Structure 1
Amino acid sequence: MSQSPSTPLIENHTVDYVPPAERHGRARDLFTLWFSTNIAPLPVVTGAMVVQVYHLDLLWGLLAIVLGHVLGGVGIALASAQGPQLGIPQMVQSRGQFGRYGALLIVFFTALIYVGFFISNIVLAGESIHGIAPSIPLPAGILLGALGATAIGVIGYRFIHTLNRIGTWVMGGALLAGFAYIFGHELPADFFTRGGFNLSGFLATLCLGIIWQISFSPYTSDYSRYLPASIGIAKPFFATFFGAVLGTSLSFSFGAVAVLATPEGTEAMAAVKQATGVFGPALMVLFLLNIISHNALNLYGAVLSIVTSIQTFASTWTPSVRLRVVLSSVVLGGSCLVALSASANFISQFIGLILTLLLVLVPWASINLIDFYLIKRGRYDIASIFRADGGIYGRVNPHAITAYFIGILVQLPFANTALYVGPYANYLSGVDLSWLAGLLVTCPLYYCLATRGQSSEGVQGVLGLAE
């Protein structure tokens, strides 16, 4: 698609509504975004856990991987399909469910998660750069990785989609070449028999795939909001679903295959390099580039969340491109200070903290999807979302807040995280079923509260999308 004045390279919107005249793009851009984004070291290492931690064999491991991501992919796809219909970021849309000030709670948690993953990924990028080119000190590698991600995040939406269109062919082709190399050479005698079926391992892998997909929900529609509303629901749903499910399933499976193709106990990324032979060094470089590209999404989401928080208290303020650059620089500087002073096991500790915070995302995702698809059916008053008093949505929606906190509380007994282990967490050998409790309670609870509390005036007040 050629460059035009209406689709500038550097994005000129932040958290404001994207008018119909500025909509552009195609549904398949969502496929390439979520496919390419998920072909990265973290999902590969996580996939290796299926064999190394959960002790499943190849057949049962692949079945659990695919099934988990298929189930979780429904959630991320439903969230993505909201973007073209509303033309606003996901966190701003939450004001239509939680109220103008009520949405601040989830915005805060989301910003914290984004920044956490941004820091973890710049540390990982720095380690990768140092490993590929030992002459580059680790601190310099961290700075290079951070600056690369920041440059992409500042340019914004259009450039992120462009990079991932390219990345789909490059990373997808590289991963397929890796699979071909592994299966084209002699496999260990226990390749198909190492491990076996165990219920706890199967369920843990299944849950891992579901939680993985849910974790993307708070910013999914940020990357579909520029698409024309006429594109409908089905096209963005299926493009996101197949991109996310195929990308993550391939990466998880690649991690499992790589560790099975090497001696038992080999570290995951070392196994990838060893199992892929001559392709190994090239794969490491490509993974590095994808870490930087993917990390731009974390920075982009963090900045949008921060801007959303500020604008909550200044309804007439329209953030500028310059402010987005300034906030990106602030996040960059603070993240680099944390990353440069990080301990050797910083990534595992920080990821543990972030995964604990995912407990707050399950109830939010439940409320978001129930509200959009069953309560308001995609009809939101955009003008009210940006009004100082919250318009028809008010400052705080007690029904959403009540369902949200109850949804968090019911998860705690079943949670199995680095920071907290619930009393029933070991019911199935440590499988974290907290997300399931959150979904089963929050969805019907919010639906009942919202429909019982819906006055005829409120229903009539939802006038549809603002033009």
Structure 2
Amino acid sequence: MVASPNENSSRLSHDIEKHADSTSSAAPDAEISSSTSAIDASEKSKPLWLRILAKGGVEEGSIAPVPLAERKDTHVYHLFTMWFSGLLCLLPIVTGMVGTLSYGLSLRDASLVIIFFTLITTIPVAYMGTLGPKTGLRQMIQARYAFGLFAITVILLLNAASVAGFTVIAAIVGGQCLSAVSNSNLSWDVGIAITLVISLVLSFTGYKMLHFYEKWSWIPILISIIITVGCGGSKLKLQAETAPPEGQTILSFGCLVAGFVIPFAGIVSDFAVYITPDAPRRKTFGYVYVGMVVPSILLLVLGAAIGGAVPNVPSWSAAYEVNSVGGVLAEMLTPAKGFGKFIVVLLALSVVGNISLSMYSISLNIQMLFPWLLKVPRAVFTVITTAIIIPVSMKAANSFFNSLENFLGVISYWSAAFVAIMMVEFLVFRKGDYASYDPANWNNRKKLPSGIAALGAGLCSFALVIPSMAQIWYTGPIALKTGDIGFEFAFIISGILYVPFRMLEIKIQGRL
């Protein structure tokens, strides 16, 4: 029987208080364990520049469980503004354009696919977000309670690559807009670098500043989007003629939409760990769900409308050839003249909120990948991440839409398997009990599962995922007849296989 939220919160609070000073001693393997107490003990030995940054509001916290005493944020609605602002940007617009420009769907068909798949695939993402306030554990630390201390490395690499991919796409679109507003006097590469450096400043500061920024940044962005539609909306009705859609195309585009939504399951709790565990579970779920669904559907559909009109509007088509998505948006705003260019700049900067969230989570992933780097401040990794992503974004910009299609399709597969395994672990084996995620065990390989069951279930599901894939570079025999149903198989098969695999693992190890 599933424990009530109040019972779970009470038990969890007791567990955290009980183990607050014993995180280090719970981990017997000194080469792997890194304790919160050891980090606190070295506070006075930190360099002056780091102490100055901390006093200036830069978050010092890393991947260790957030102590109950620090989880005091009662503003649960911050989860709504966080995701609403983070997704109210150009990223969903360019993703929606793929449905009409690349897949050849009509605006009506693309919109129906977008609405259906977004509403469905956001449910498990928002549900996983409820564990953040209740456990105080970052998303990939929660995953250790299914994948163990070593097998989680595979998931960390996939998650970091996925989040970095979103960052690359967002940075490219921002760079295209800045190039378009300068009449191509500013190259894409320079625009990309500017966008990422601005995002670096925000992600560098950490959790509190991110929440503060996202609380208000949606206002000018929403106004800018409305102005853009107002200026160029009359031409959105000039949709290109399309053939009746085939089932394969519908499912393949649905997989791409799923690839846009589901990967957020790998980072959603990262931005909820300071919220009080007393926050109602339904409220937490609702804020995350609505905050993701509303901007995603509206802007994905807007992108589909823009993509469908590009072939029939000569000026948009010409601008698209020069500056891709940024060029089209700049052309839509030409009636506003100089003010329109200002709006394009705001649209370019709309991706800053999204990129900063991604870079924040990547920095946490790096610390999890390399435990001996725990003493290195998280903020340092945001600088390293930016330095790596800038040249990668410049390279990917050369084949933008092909990169986008390949990326979103592929990441939906592993993300679906990950979500299924995590939900089965929580609902079936932990019976919905948040307190079963003992914070003292987060870094203790002898208290965590081996991870063989979780990794095995995910890998075995790919026996059906691979023949069900439909990508530019490969189409499996099943997908030839059905379209891309890889993420559906990944979710269903991995979830089913995990039950007997995990039961056997528990029996062998003698613990949950």
Unaligned runs of 5+ residues in structure 1 are 1-5, 463-467
Aligned counterpart, 1:435: 487
2:122 counterpart of 1:73: yes
Partner SS state of residue 361, structure 1 = helix
- Looking at structure 1, the residues matched to 157 and 298 of structure 2 have their Cα atoms a distance apart, in angstroms, of 32
Task: Specify the code of the residue in structure 1 equivalent to 2:154.
Answer: L
Aligned counterpart, 1:349: 403
Provide the alpha-carbon RMSD of the alignment.
3.0
Which shows bigger deviation, 346-355 or 410-419?
Answer: 346-355
Which shows bigger deviation, 342-351 or 213-222?
Answer: 342-351
Unaligned runs of 5+ residues in structure 2 are 1-53
Aligned counterpart, 1:131: 180
**Gap change, CA 1:196 and 1:357, over 3 Å in 2:** closer
Which shows bigger deviation, 118-127 or 154-163?
Answer: 118-127
Task: Specify the code of the residue in structure 2 equivalent to 1:286.
Answer: L
CA contact (8 A) 1:120 1:351 kept: no
**Gap change, CA 1:84 and 1:440, over 3 Å in 2:** same
| Aligned ranges 1:294-373 → 2 under 5 Å | 294-311=354-371, 314=372, 319-320=374-375, 323-339=377-393, 344-345=398-399, 348-349=402-403, 352-353=406-407, 355-373=409-427
Whose helix proportion is higher, 1 or 2?
2
CA deviations 1:106-159 (Å, max 9, x no partner) are: 112212223333344434433332322344454443332221111111111122
Identity of aligned residues (%): 20
CA contact (8 A) 1:69 1:245 kept: yes
1:324 CA displacement: 1.9
Which shows bigger deviation, 260-269 or 163-172?
Answer: 260-269
| Aligned ranges 1:228-239 → 2 under 5 Å | 228-239=276-287
CA contact (8 A) 1:91 1:219 kept: yes
- Looking at structure 2, the residues matched to 227 and 368 of structure 1 have their Cα atoms a distance apart, in angstroms, of 21
Aligned counterpart, 2:202: 152
CA contact (8 A) 1:403 1:442 kept: yes
Partner SS state of residue 100, structure 1 = helix
CA contact (8 A) 1:84 1:228 kept: yes
- Looking at structure 1, the residues matched to 328 and 384 of structure 2 have their Cα atoms a distance apart, in angstroms, of 37
Task: Specify the code of the residue in structure 2 equivalent to 1:258.
Answer: I
| Aligned ranges 1:46-195 → 2 under 5 Å | 46-133=95-182, 134-181=184-231, 185=234, 188=237, 191=239
Q: TM-score of the superposition, structure 2-length normalised?
A: 0.78
1:352 CA displacement: 2.4
CA contact (8 A) 1:272 1:280 kept: no
Which shows bigger deviation, 344-353 or 75-84?
Answer: 344-353
Task: Specify the code of the residue in structure 1 equivalent to 2:480.
Answer: N
Which shows bigger deviation, 167-176 or 242-251?
Answer: 167-176
In structure 1, which of residues 278, 285, 293 is the aligned counterpart of residue 345 of structure 2? 285
In structure 1, which of residues 411, 415, 420 is the aligned counterpart of residue 474 of structure 2? 420
2:437 counterpart of 1:380: yes
Task: Specify the code of the residue in structure 2 equivalent to 1:352.
Answer: N
**Gap change, CA 1:417 and 1:118, over 3 Å in 2:** same
**Gap change, CA 1:300 and 1:419, over 3 Å in 2:** farther
**Gap change, CA 1:331 and 1:349, over 3 Å in 2:** same
- Looking at structure 1, the residues matched to 166 and 410 of structure 2 have their Cα atoms a distance apart, in angstroms, of 13
- Looking at structure 1, the residues matched to 462 and 414 of structure 2 have their Cα atoms a distance apart, in angstroms, of 6
CA contact (8 A) 2:468 2:479 kept: yes
CA contact (8 A) 2:177 2:348 kept: yes
Aligned counterpart, 1:448: 500
Task: Specify the code of the residue in structure 2 equivalent to 1:306.
Answer: I
Partner SS state of residue 410, structure 1 = helix
Aligned counterpart, 1:211: 259
1:187 CA displacement: 6.4
**Gap change, CA 1:360 and 1:206, over 3 Å in 2:** closer
Task: Specify the code of the residue in structure 2 equivalent to 1:287.
Answer: L
CA contact (8 A) 1:416 1:432 kept: yes
- Looking at structure 1, the residues matched to 397 and 282 of structure 2 have their Cα atoms a distance apart, in angstroms, of 46
Which shows bigger deviation, 206-215 or 148-157?
Answer: 206-215
Partner SS state of residue 424, structure 1 = helix
- Looking at structure 2, the residues matched to 75 and 449 of structure 1 have their Cα atoms a distance apart, in angstroms, of 22
CA deviations 1:414-461 (Å, max 9, x no partner) are: 112244332222213xx3210011112111221233245545995xx6
CA deviations 1:36-90 (Å, max 9, x no partner) are: 2222223112212333334443333322211110001102111211111111111
CA contact (8 A) 2:98 2:401 kept: no
Aligned counterpart, 2:48: none
Partner SS state of residue 101, structure 1 = helix
CA contact (8 A) 2:177 2:329 kept: no
- Looking at structure 1, the residues matched to 240 and 179 of structure 2 have their Cα atoms a distance apart, in angstroms, of 35
- Looking at structure 1, the residues matched to 408 and 462 of structure 2 have their Cα atoms a distance apart, in angstroms, of 15
How many pairs does the alignment contain? Answer: 442
CA contact (8 A) 1:51 1:195 kept: no
- Looking at structure 2, the residues matched to 182 and 20 of structure 1 have their Cα atoms a distance apart, in angstroms, of 51
Task: Specify the code of the residue in structure 2 equivalent to 1:365.
Answer: V
CA deviations 1:275-317 (Å, max 9, x no partner) are: 4542753442222112222111221121111101112xx5xx8
CA deviations 1:341-394 (Å, max 9, x no partner) are: 66722674376256424432221111011112232123211211222x341x24
Task: Specify the code of the residue in structure 1 equivalent to 2:312.
Answer: E
- Looking at structure 2, the residues matched to 131 and 375 of structure 1 have their Cα atoms a distance apart, in angstroms, of 53
Q: TM-score of the superposition, structure 1-length normalised?
A: 0.84
- Looking at structure 1, the residues matched to 97 and 128 of structure 2 have their Cα atoms a distance apart, in angstroms, of 28
Which shows bigger deviation, 438-447 or 281-290?
Answer: 281-290
2:463 counterpart of 1:400: no
CA deviations 1:15-45 (Å, max 9, x no partner) are: 0111122121522211122222222223112
**Gap change, CA 1:368 and 1:163, over 3 Å in 2:** same
Which shows bigger deviation, 254-263 or 296-305?
Answer: 254-263
